[in-house]
Structure 1
C-alpha cells in the first residue's frame, strides 16, 4: 500500500500543501469549510501526520487500542480479560473497538485509535491478506496480532497452532470411526485457512479424499440451520461435524436436537475454544482448548516489551492446542 503524503491530502481536498499543513497543525487562519474538507480528505486517505506517528512510537499516553471481531464472542471476551489483567497492572487504560469481521470497520477503528494517540495496538485481523496490517507496518505503529496471523512474516503475534487444531479434531473423529466429516469453517482469517489445511491433511493421512461438499465457510451472521438441513437431506450425509468454534457447535447442537438426531449416536460434534459453557451442554461438548486467556496475557506482555525496549526483533508465540474429549463424540 502506497504511503499517503500531505501532497495526496492536498490533491483530494483541492487545496495547496500549505493549507493542509495549517489545518493539520492547527495554525493560521483557514475557513471552516476548507478545514472540514481537508480533515475529511485526510481521514478518507488514512493520512497520519509525522508528529502523530512519533507520539505513537514514543508511547506516552498509557493507553492501548484493541480491535477484535466482537466482544459478544465469549472467546474474545476472555482474550481481552487476559490483556486487561496485564495492562491494568501497569497503569494502562484500554480503548476497545469491534470490527464485526468487516475490514472497513477495522480500518475505521484503527484510524480512530491513532487519532486518540494510543501507545500501541492489539489486533485480531479480519483478513489473512490484510491491508490494514500493512498500513500499521508502513506507519511503524507498535502492534501485536492476537489469535490470528497475516500473510506478512515481519509482525509480532500470539496465536494457537491452528493447523494442529484442524488436524487433531479431524483425527479424533477418524479414530472414532467416522469417515464422512462435515467441516463448518469460518472465513477469510488465518485461523480458518490453517484449520482447513489441518482438516485436509488428517483426511489425506487416513487415505481419504476431501469432499468439497463437506466443507462450508460461514460468513458472519450466516444461519447454520439451513446449511445443516440441506447437508443432512442428502443420502451421502456426514456422521460427524467439526465446527470452527464452540459458538458454531452450540448452534449445531440446537439444530440436531430440533430435528431429532442424537449426539453422538447419530452425529458426533467437535468444537474449538473450550468455552465455559461447553461442559454444561447436553451432552458435554468435545472441544479444543487454545489457551484463550493466556493468549491475551502474552499479547499484552509482548506489546509492553515493544513499548519499553529498543528490541526490534519480532516476537511470535504459538500455543499448543489441547483436545478435551467429552460425550459429544
Structure 2
C-alpha cells in the first residue's frame, strides 16, 4: 500500500484527494492546507486523512509521494523539498510565475532523479489520447496544422486574476502543452495578440481576457490558438488536427448525451460546466499514472521538463503581445 500526502484542499486539491483515496493501492495519509475550514475537515474525514503541517509530511519516511495542488506560490518550494527528501511528486502547473525559478527548480528535480508528474491533465483525457495515438501511429497521416479553442464559461474574479500570473501562464499553458504533445516537437516562433474585451475588472488587474496566438513548430507546422475568458454557452474546449489523410476533432462534451427533436427543431444539452467536470476521467487517469510511476517506474505523459517548455512558450507569448512582434524561441531562450 502506497502512502500519499496532498498539499492543498481547494478546488483541484479536493479532486486529487478523492481520487487518491479511491485508488485501491493508495492510503491517503495526510492533507496539508494552512487555511482551516469546515470543508477541509470534511474532506479529511471523507478520505480518512489527517490534517497536518508540511514538516510532518517530509519527515515521514513512509510517505512515498506528494501531490502539490496548493497555491502556485508554494509549488517551487514544495518541489525542492520533495527532491531533497527523495519523494515522488505530482505537481499542478505552473511550477512558478517566475521563469527563472521554473528553470532552477526543474534542474534540481531532474538532477535529484525523483519521479515527477506535471498536471497537464489533457494528456490523460481519452479523446486527446486517441488523437495523439492516431497521429503517432500514422493512421491519420502527417499532422499539418492544429486549431484549438479554449474559453471559460465566465470570467474569474479579479482576486484570482491578480495572483494567476496572467491568462497565458494560467489558461493558455494547457494549449501550449497540447501543441507540443501532438506535434511531437518544439515550438520555434510565437506570435500573440490579446486584449481585455469582456471584463473591465480583468483589464484593471493588468491582464487580458481574449487572445489569439499563432505558433510555428521547428519543422514549420502551425498551431492557431483562440483563448477567451467567456463563452456564453458554457465551458468551450475543442481541438481540430488537420492531417494528410484525416481531420481529427475533439468536441465539447455535453452534460446530457441525448438530443431532443420536436416541432421547433433539434435541441442538445449545453457543454459540461467547467474543466473539473469535463476532465474528470483525465484527473482519475492522472492519479493512476502517478501511482503506476511510483510502483513500476513508468514514465509519466508529462514531466517537469514539459512544464518548463510549456511555460517558455507562455513567456514568449507575453513578450510577443507586449512588443507586437513574433518571438523566436531557442532551447535556451529566456524572457
- Smaller-chain TM-score range? 0.3 to 0.5
Determine which structure has more spread, i.e. the larger CA radius of gyration. 1
Report the TM-score, using the length of structure 1 for normalisation: 0.40
- Larger helix proportion of the pair: 1
